[in-house]
Each structure stands twice: as C-alpha cells, then as structure tokens.
C-alpha cells in the first residue's frame, strides 16, 4: 500500500478516471472502426487506446497530486475520503456552484448542438456516445486530464520559476492557466472530430474550439475556487441534463 497521501490521491484519481477511459474505449472505438478505411482488430484498438489514455491520465493524476497543494488547488472531497473524515463538509459548498455551472453548460450544449455545422450534425447521428461514457469520460477523465493535470501544471510553472514559490500564485497566473487549458481542451477535440470523418474546415474548427473552450473556462473557475470535484460534478451534470433535453425533444 502507498503510504504517501499525495500518491494515494493520485492513484485514486487515476482509478476513477480510468472507468471513463474504459467506457469510452469500448463504446466509441468499435463505431470508429466500422467506418475506418483500414480497420484494425477491435480488441487491439481498444487495448491500445486504453494504454495510451491510461498513461496520459496517470501523468495528469500524478502531476496534480504533486503540484496542486503548493499552489492552493486541490480535490478536498477525495482527500478527506482518503483521510477518513469530513467528506460531506468538503462537498457541501461545492454543490450549488457546480449545479449552477452544470445547468448553464447544459444550456450551452443544447444551443451548440442545434447550431452545429451540418456535417457535425450528420456525424452526431452516425456516432452514438452513451451517457455512461459522457459522464465517466467527459465528467471525470477529462477533468483529471485538463484541470487536475494540465491546469495545475500551468499554474505551478510561473509560480515556481517567475514568482519563486513566494506567496500564493498571482491571480493572473491562475486566470491564464484557466484560459490556456480551456483552449487546449477545445484543440484536443479536433482529432476526435477528424477520426469520426469530419472535415476540419473553418466552421468546424471554430465550432469545436468555441463549444469546448467556453465550458472549459467555467470548469476551470470551479476547480480554482471550489476544488476538482466541483468541476467534475458540473461537467457530468451538463452532459446528463443536455442528454435529457435531447431525449425529451426527440
């Protein structure tokens, strides 16, 4: 057993995030392979995807666990669960802001879904991402990767090398990290769109970047102010609520 609490935290977040990697791999990759011009064996593709994502999630989980505390970021609910006390006290202040942001982002997802370029609308009908994958991968794995791993690193770097570890990180560093992470969050969705057959023309690129960066900014602000779990809850709620709206309007 790991005795270092920070390593325990990183391992716990990695394990939880890997449920999302598994859910996405087994549900989406077979659909991609069906439309691939040079398909590979499904089992090999799933294992390769999980290994690649597993390494990235592990790096993000470790980076966040090691670097978050010095810069005032954290996952207070999970940390207290691992410590065996006070989890509800840590969760309670996160619920309202996470709910508000989650519902706002759900509205954005519905709007962007209706305003999607025609080719993305067609692909959305051809590819089905189950709600379980949206909740576990989008809600958990992406937040561990982007907020916990990348955003934490982007706050830590200027704090360590420019601010010389003195005092809490400057607000400008945190806001900069939120925006950079959100933009990269959008960029990271472009290969997925291309793998499903989308032509990355200007409308598609602008749509993907804007449709992911705006929620990413809101999730980053939640992570900064309330902790990682608030971003996870908001992200998952956004997918759940927008999916419910889609079901009700079919």
The pLDDT tens digits for 145-161 are: 999 999 999 999 999 99
Distances (CA, A) of 116 to 64, 96, 121: 34, 30, 6
The pLDDT of residue 33 is 83
| Helical segments of the chain, H only | 5-35, 42-67, 76-83, 87-114, 118-126, 131-133, 142-143, 152-161, 171-187, 190-195, 202-226, 228-248
Task: Please answer whether residues 23 and 128 qualify as being in contact, where contact means their C-beta atoms are separated by less than 8 angstroms.
Answer: no
The span from the CA of 207 to the CA of 101, in Å, is 20
The span from the CA of 130 to the CA of 186, in Å, is 21
Q: How many CA atoms lie within 13 A of 206 on its CB side?
A: 6
Q: Looking at residues 65-81, what average pLDDT do you find?
A: 97
Give the other-Cβ count within 10 Å of 167's Cβ: 8
pLDDT averaged over every residue in the chain: 93
Helix 228-248 to helix 202-226 angle (10° resolution) is 130
The span from the CA of 238 to the CA of 102, in Å, is 5
In total, how many domains does the chain have?
A: 1
pTM: 0.95
Domain that holds residue 162: 5-248
- Name the DSSP letter for residue 38: S
Q: Looking at residues 109-128, what average pLDDT do you find?
A: 86
∠ CA 146-147-149, rounded to 5°:
70
Distances (CA, A) of 138 to 17, 89, 96, 97: 10, 26, 20, 18
The pLDDT of residue 37 is 67
């Amino acid at each position: 057993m790991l005795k270092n609490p920070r390593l325990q935290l990183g391992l716990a977040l990695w394990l939880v995030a890997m449920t999302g990697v598994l859910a996405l791999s087994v549900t989406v990759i077979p659909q991609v392979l069906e439309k691939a011009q040079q398909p590979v064996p499904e089992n090999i593709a799933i294992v390769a995807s999980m290994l690649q994502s597993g390494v990235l999630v592990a790096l993000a989980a470790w980076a966040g666990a090691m670097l978050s505390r010095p810069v005032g970021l954290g996952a207070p609910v999970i940390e207290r669960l691992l410590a065996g006390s006070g989890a509800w006290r840590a969760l309670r202040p996160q619920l309202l802001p996470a709910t508000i942001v989650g519902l706002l982002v759900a509205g954005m997802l519905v709007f962007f879904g209706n305003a999607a370029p025609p080719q993305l609308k067609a692909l959305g009908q051809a590819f089905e991402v189950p709600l379980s994958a949206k909740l576990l991968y989008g809600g958990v794995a992406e937040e561990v990767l982007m907020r916990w791993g990348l955003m934490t690193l982007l706050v830590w770097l200027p704090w360590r090398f420019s601010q010389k570890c003195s005092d809490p990180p400057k607000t400008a560093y945190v806001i900069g990290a939120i925006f950079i992470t959100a933009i990269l969050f959008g960029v990271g969705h472009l290969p997925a769109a291309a793998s499903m057959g989308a032509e990355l023309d200007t409308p598609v690129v602008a749509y993907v970047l804007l449709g992911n960066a705006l929620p990413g900014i809101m999730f980053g602000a939640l992570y900064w102010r309330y902790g990682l779990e608030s971003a996870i809850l908001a992200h998952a709620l956004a997918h759940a609520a927008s999916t419910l709206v889609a079901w009700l309007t079919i």
